[in-house]
Structure 1
Amino acid sequence: MNLLKKSETIKREPYLNFKLFYRNIDRKLIWQVLTIKFLVILWGGIVHQVFTRHRFANLGDWLAIWNLWDAPRYLNLAEFGYQSSGENQVNIAFYPLYPLLIRCIETITNNYIVSAFLISALASIATAIFLQNLVAVDYSPKIARSSVLFLFIFPTSYFLHIGYTESLFLALSIGCLLAARTNNWRWVGFLGGLATMTRINGMILIPALIVEAIHQYRINKRFNRSWLWILAVPSGLIIYLLCNLWVNGNIFSFLEFQREFWHKSSAFPWQSIWAKIQQTPRYAAYEMQMVGVQELLFIAIGLAGTIWSWFKLRPVYSVWMTGNWWLFTSTSFILSVPRYTLVLFPLYIGFSFLYKERILYNVIIVWCVVFLLLFSGLFAVGKWAF
């Protein structure tokens, strides 16, 4: 019997039995994740060599092509930390946990890029394990396995394998929600705190966890003092704000840099989306017009999935979907929505529900794989791909 199958009754030991949990890890799942990871890195390397005619001499060349856009900033933070002046002062806009882990692993590997990839590799495996077990709490093993598949073939899933925070954030967030669903609330506080130290949308865990606690109360009609561990979730954000205070003398200095360098400030989603709709046809380059179209498409996918989740899924997942979608559309300059949509993991549960509708199910798989190849290939040759 699956360790996590009984959790619907919410009658659980206060801690995970790690020995039993380890025995229930799907080894086949790990090999599937590693295979997809290998194929994505291999594909990107082949595309890069074909289009640039640059032949790779060693493993470092295969990894270096992915060190683009935000990735070098994490490596810079790992090596030098936050800085109060100079061109790298803007790095205060990035949260500290991922570069901190890179720095720690670098003491072993003696290579920052390898360390970043190693962390993402381990975190992506943890993400797959946590997601499969989380979905299996409520649904069949087939739905659980299919949900993991859709996550790892999603068009922007290549960010799970490179020097970005997606895999670490998903591992911590899904692990946190898994702990809540299995009544292991101390782990909720610990993993949630690390999630809020990784990305701002870790704070969406707070309303999601509160809703889950209310849901459990309605089932058991009993207050659980362990729910107070939710109060530990913002600890990661507090650490990040203190970093802002220590470096720049202002706990909200990261907002200033976001406005100055990324033109981001608060706005209502309908304002931002309408501005994007008007802006997209005006781009001089056809390439940027297509980027704008993809941004709008993924906004629509996220919105449709969010609405669907309120009718079909447990409230905790609906809150997660709503909070994340609202967050990445509530900005004056919409950017990287296809990448941000990757963390909307309940969306993959919805895709998996379609397994009986074979044609539609297969169409979604083909769409995912085709655009994963397209986006990852563009990224590997240095194009903007979210």
Structure 2
Amino acid sequence: MVAGRLWGRLGRDDREVLWLYLLTRVGLWTTAYCVRWLFPQHGATRSPLPVLAPWQQWDWWHYQHIAQDGYFPGGGGPWVLGWDNREAFFPGFPLTLRAVHVVVPHWTAAGLVISLVAGCIAVLALARIARLALRDVDAGRRAVLFFLLSPCAVFLAAGYTEALFLALALPAWHAAQRHNWPLAGVLASLAVTVRVSGLFLAAALAVHWLTTTRPRPRWRALPWLALPALPPLLHSWYLRLHTGDWMAWKHAQERGWHRDFHTPWEAFRHTWNAAFGQTQTTGYAIEFQAEILAMLLGLLLTGLLLYRRRWPEAVYTGLSLWALGTSYWYMSVPRATLLWWPLWVLIAARSVRHPRVTTAYACLAAPLMTVLAVTFMTGHWAG
């Protein structure tokens, strides 16, 4: 009954967006069902994998272990041989997972519920951002369509941080568009608890405040814009109490994922060698090829934003590229494209003027999305 009343309060455009979202979720869950039968653990088995097995991949285990046992169970930590470096992950998603687990007893199911609900909020916010930016009623649905058909869209459905982060970050940006700085600051602070990318969002909000509050800045907004700095400080303080290291989360990333600092040209060279130098197996090599393509897309996007004087969005994507492009090699750049909301708005703007863009994008992106979903669900995608 409550869901029916909420549905009735939504406008026609919002309902169309949610209908599109639910249809793509059904498509991904159908893919997961097929993966269980087509890719069993043993070729001669007559029983499929468990229902939720396709979603139990890679980072998911870190989130579940943190939610179950905390960051340092039994006195464990980076001083223990074989430590899993779980302190590299921010606490927002594991804390949410622990709370939802009270109602949904199965850990994986709880993670999927979080992403499902968060994804609803994210697509509604994205649609409203696009409508406000482009002044076009149909722009919201188009932006969401391109977003949901992204090659990495499987990570929005899995028990990962992308959907929850966007459910906070996109409403924060929409609030900033309407100059509601207290709401923007609070939501951005919550987004930082989920991913460090929230700090890039906070920087974009600050630039947006500087460039849109002329001739007189609204100084009362400053405390709210500074609020996102608090969660990482508290998290670093907590980790220091257990490890003696203020930057324990960063050092865990360096140990576990080679995210130590390298110059951009070194990072590119290492990634290029991994992609084309025959130093990796073919499965990993093509992942590094995808990393390079995603980085080039990000650079093109940032350049276009700068050309159009979209300074806040350019700061957001530029900081993201700097963080991803100065490790030993590129890692998780394709996933990061999901967080670049200006990309989906710009493609929507292009499709309004050139309808064939929608057809071309769907024909190219949908097969890639399916391939990537199958790759992830079978445990072969590490990026």
Q: Same fold (TM over 0.5)?
A: yes
Letter in 2 for 1:269: P
For residues 333 and 284 of structure 1, what CA distance do their matches in structure 2 show?
13
For residues 321 and 329 of structure 2, what CA distance do their matches in structure 1 show?
15
Q: What does residue 275 of structure 1 align with?
A: 270
How many angstroms does 1:245 deviate by? 1.3
Mapped pair 1:38 → 2:33: no
Mapped pair 1:230 → 2:218: no
Contact in 2 for aligned 1:321/1:344 (Cα 8 Å): yes
For residues 236 and 55 of structure 1, what CA distance do their matches in structure 2 show?
49
Q: What does residue 377 of structure 1 align with?
A: 374
For residues 288 and 69 of structure 1, what CA distance do their matches in structure 2 show?
14
- Percentage identity across paired residues of the two chains: 23
1:157-306 to structure 2, matched below 5 A, reads 157-218=153-214, 220-282=215-277, 283-306=279-302
Letter in 1 for 2:181: W
Mapped pair 1:367 → 2:355: no
For residues 131 and 47 of structure 2, what CA distance do their matches in structure 1 show?
42
Letter in 2 for 1:42: T
Unaligned ranges ≥5, structure 2: 1-5
Query: Equivalent of 2:119, from 108, 124, 136?
Result: 124
Q: What does residue 10 of structure 1 align with?
A: none
For residues 253 and 382 of structure 2, what CA distance do their matches in structure 1 show?
20
Mapped pair 1:322 → 2:311: no
How many angstroms does 1:193 deviate by? 0.9
Relative to structure 1, the CA distance from residue 271 to residue 22 in structure 2 (aligned partners, 3 Å threshold; closer, same or farther) is farther
Letter in 1 for 2:146: F
Query: Equivalent of 2:131, from 112, 133, 136?
Result: 136
For residues 330 and 22 of structure 1, what CA distance do their matches in structure 2 show?
46
Residue by residue, what CA displacement relative to the aligned partner does 1:108-140 show, whole Å, maximum 9, x if unpaired? 112211111111111111100111111222211
Give the 3-state SS of the residue equivalent to 1:131 in structure 2: helix
Letter in 2 for 1:366: C
Letter in 2 for 1:38: V
For residues 336 and 43 of structure 1, what CA distance do their matches in structure 2 show?
22
Contact in 2 for aligned 1:186/1:229 (Cα 8 Å): yes
How many angstroms does 1:325 deviate by? 1.7
Residue by residue, what CA displacement relative to the aligned partner does 1:213-265 show, whole Å, maximum 9, x if unpaired? 112223x5353412431011112212221221132121211222222221220
Give the 3-state SS of the residue equivalent to 2:218 in structure 1: coil
For residues 252 and 284 of structure 1, what CA distance do their matches in structure 2 show?
31
Give the 3-state SS of the residue equivalent to 1:134 in structure 2: helix
Mapped pair 1:62 → 2:51: yes
Mapped pair 1:50 → 2:38: yes
For residues 22 and 215 of structure 1, what CA distance do their matches in structure 2 show?
34
More displaced stretch, 288-297 vs 313-322:
313-322
Letter in 1 for 2:184: V
CA RMSD between the two structures: 2.2
For residues 284 and 72 of structure 1, what CA distance do their matches in structure 2 show?
25
Letter in 1 for 2:212: Q
Q: What does residue 311 of structure 1 align with?
A: 307
Letter in 1 for 2:338: L
How many angstroms does 1:314 deviate by? 3.2
Contact in 2 for aligned 1:195/1:236 (Cα 8 Å): no
Contact in 2 for aligned 1:328/1:337 (Cα 8 Å): yes
Contact in 2 for aligned 1:241/1:252 (Cα 8 Å): yes
For residues 38 and 361 of structure 1, what CA distance do their matches in structure 2 show?
21
Residue by residue, what CA displacement relative to the aligned partner does 1:179-231 show, whole Å, maximum 9, x if unpaired? 1111221112211111111111111122211111112223x535341243101
Relative to structure 1, the CA distance from residue 152 to residue 268 in structure 2 (aligned partners, 3 Å threshold; closer, same or farther) is same
For residues 101 and 280 of structure 2, what CA distance do their matches in structure 1 show?
43
Contact in 2 for aligned 1:295/1:336 (Cα 8 Å): yes
More displaced stretch, 74-83 vs 267-276:
267-276
Mapped pair 1:75 → 2:53: no
More displaced stretch, 260-269 vs 221-230:
221-230
Relative to structure 1, the CA distance from residue 347 to residue 196 in structure 2 (aligned partners, 3 Å threshold; closer, same or farther) is same
Contact in 1 for aligned 2:35/2:54 (Cα 8 Å): no
Residue by residue, what CA displacement relative to the aligned partner does 1:329-386 show, whole Å, maximum 9, x if unpaired? 1212321211122211111112112223344442222221110001001111121252
Mapped pair 1:91 → 2:86: yes
Q: What does residue 102 of structure 1 align with?
A: 97
Aligned length: 364
For residues 144 and 181 of structure 2, what CA distance do their matches in structure 1 show?
24
Relative to structure 1, the CA distance from residue 56 to residue 129 in structure 2 (aligned partners, 3 Å threshold; closer, same or farther) is farther
Q: What does residue 333 of structure 1 align with?
A: 329
For residues 344 and 320 of structure 2, what CA distance do their matches in structure 1 show?
15
Unaligned ranges ≥5, structure 1: 1-18
Relative to structure 1, the CA distance from residue 37 to residue 354 in structure 2 (aligned partners, 3 Å threshold; closer, same or farther) is same
Mapped pair 1:148 → 2:137: no
Give the 3-state SS of the residue equivalent to 2:176 in structure 1: helix
What TM-score do you get using the length of structure 1 for normalisation? 0.88
For residues 382 and 66 of structure 2, what CA distance do their matches in structure 1 show?
23
